[in-house]
A and B are shown apart, each in its own frame.
Chain A
């Protein structure tokens, strides 16, 4: 948190454009996708799991949703209805993919790293196959109806930022104030103890992956109207950015303890870094990933004593 404030002061000092409301909203809107996924990822990591597939999953959901909406266009009259159906489909697909992960990990007894490493390849390959290596593009009329979901704003704040805020608050309440959230922490802290304490370990674990899948669905339904297309590079490396946001936010990679607030701050911090690099010329934009990498290792270094 202190790091974020310092970074913002530095950004303001380096470039007058940084501290404008326009730029702030721009950064937050860009953060929204990763941020929303990171909230879901936080649950999975706190429970002691990991999901490497979220970027590919987002790409496949985006492609599938666009294809479905295009196919519905001649059948269903109202474009608004089609968009609503598409958004619904994004959530359902996310939940289904998450459920599949959860079942393979718990009932199939396979390491989450392996399961999601596999699906990472599967999802992206299917998207590439469907798009024939190119782009799957949303019908123009539908695109016009859909675009306010990304470009619109409410009370001067872009829609994706509102959604990010709501997801973060709901996530925080679930993790800290419900029995489910307590079980997630208990399982990540010590799975055996949780099992002996009559916690339904498998069910809770599956739900964390479903929750993450739904978060990916939400992020995707916000992302589709931005470009109106899905390509084999859609969502590339999102998984690493989401995991980085969670870890920078102070969540233990081993599970057990974590914070949604931290995750949100972590996600914003990482995109503020790239924003500052874009606006100033002290460090080349090409080194963006390197600077983020230094921050991740640095934060982990500072936190190592607390575990």
Chain B
């Protein structure tokens, strides 16, 4: 038995803000539907209504022909509708089996029936292809394994309609492939799926049809095979997407390097790394998740212990001991983990923007007027879309939060800026803005380091790209070696990683 769902003129308000303006469509049983749109288009909100995490403000939702108003995710699960969140909702200190049955424990009388829960957990883990003891604690699992546990949990709930919100955002290509195989198997079993993703090539690969949302409205519904990725992107943004990447500026003449790193070793992560970045240059770091790119720069900033290596900033030998020391000497770092390390989401925009350059506003009392003026300028310069300058960072959509985070690390006027996954979880429109911004920074004479897991992005943006694998620098590719055919890069990446010796 499959589930059919009809949205009829669904409206959702958050306080005075209307985020869904009457959305109507039906999901047919057994089909896989891609739901795409820019950040803030209302995809996640709509799916949260379907899965019982949000209540509907107007219109109606019918499941199997019956009008429904889910009061909780439990009600939705009773109908076979399960949402796998963008952020995981697993209890780290519990075991896989305990997580799988969390809130739905099996009991024998007053006591938990552990034997039967472990037995069923093992069965469902086998089904998703996770070979692991059900008594392993979740905190010992890597991200991809946690994703599979989430899917297993959905299966245990007898999901007939599975909603996946950005399931591959943190997966490696191999892990993504495994998830797709599992999805194919579920589809064969007649499970209806909704697939939310910014990665349009994946949407193209796994879905039967795509639904495009923009500004809280449904703008298009097409068979997947009849639209190209380019058309999908244009539909999402609402205008023709001219070139995503800015034209490359000529590689700057090789003056003395701004940042020169020699023989850097971060024990357990990276070994003997050499590279240099020049003023006006965009220098990319390619590699798989776990290749040690983030750890390299965390070591550089003094956030992880270094055991060897020297760092030269603007020709001077320095010993960076903390992000503070680095910022003082003109090097700032944008973390890949926006909510955990990048922004204070509960703080206002102003407090976030000026945090790294607060000395400038303290004489010795903080000059709030100057801070507000700086915020106004930054909002214009970086194209941060917000209705209210006094609102908190959490009220911004993902793309705008990322622009704010960028404005923040650039606020101390660094000479070298390291951007770790600057476009992660960001929609196409915001991506383009960020690419043009990076280009502008380089033209203004900054040395820019971009770490990214998207090869296309590095090829489109960078002058030179360093390839890292298993903690070592494999090669530095010059501009003429960077082509859309991505041959040298992807070949180097796909070679099986060797453990650090």
Contact = CB atoms under 8 A, between A and B. Distances in A.
B294 to A, nearest CB: 12
Interface stretch (A84-92, A114-122, A185-193, A215-223): A185-193
Contact of A178 (B332, B333, B341, B364): B364
Contacts of A177: 365-366
A196 interface: yes
A190 B342 CA distance: 10
A197 interface: yes
Nearest to B367: A177
A228 B323 CA distance: 50
B347 interface: yes
B333 A196 contact: yes
A200 to B, nearest CB: 5
A190 B344 contact: yes
Contacts of B361: 179
A179 B366 contact: yes
Contacts of B366: 177-179, 182
B296 to A, nearest CB: 15
Contacts of A192: 340-341
A200 B332 CA distance: 14
B356 interface: yes
Contacts of B328: 198
Size bin of chain B's contact surface: 20 to 34
A218 B362 CA distance: 27
B322 interface: yes
Given A179-B359, A179-B362, A195-B303, A200 B324 contact: yes
A186 B344 contact: yes
B327 interface: yes
Contacts of A195: 303, 323, 341
B358 A182 contact: yes
A97 interface: no
Interface string B341-378: 11111110001000110110110111000000000000
Interface string B218-239: 0000000000000000000000
Contact of B343 (A178, A183, A193, A200): A193
A146 B340 CA distance: 52
A236 interface: no
Contact of B341 (A182, A183, A189, A196): A196
Given A182-B351, A194-B355, 9 more contacts: A173-B365, A179-B366, A186-B347, A193-B340, A193-B344, A195-B303, A197-B323, A197-B356, A198-B356
Interface of A: 173, 177-179, 182-183, 185-186, 189-190, 192-200, 256-257
